[in-house]
Amino acid sequence: MSGTRFLKFVRLVGISRHGKCRIAQHGCDWLVEVDGMFKGQPAWLLKSLQKTEGPATKKNFDGRWVLKNNDPNFAVQWEWQHSVTAPNV
Domain boundaries, the chain: 8-82
Total-model pTM: 0.84
Return the percentage of the chain with pLDDT > 70, whole number: 93
What tens digit of pLDDT does each residue of 45-80 get? 999 999 998 898 999 999 999 999 999 999 999 888
Whole-angstrom distance, CA of residue 82 vs CA of residue 9:
8
Q: pLDDT band at residue 89, thresholds of 50, 70 and 90?
A: low
pLDDT tops 90 at residue 84: no
The answer to whether 10 and 67 have CB atoms below 8 angstroms apart is: no
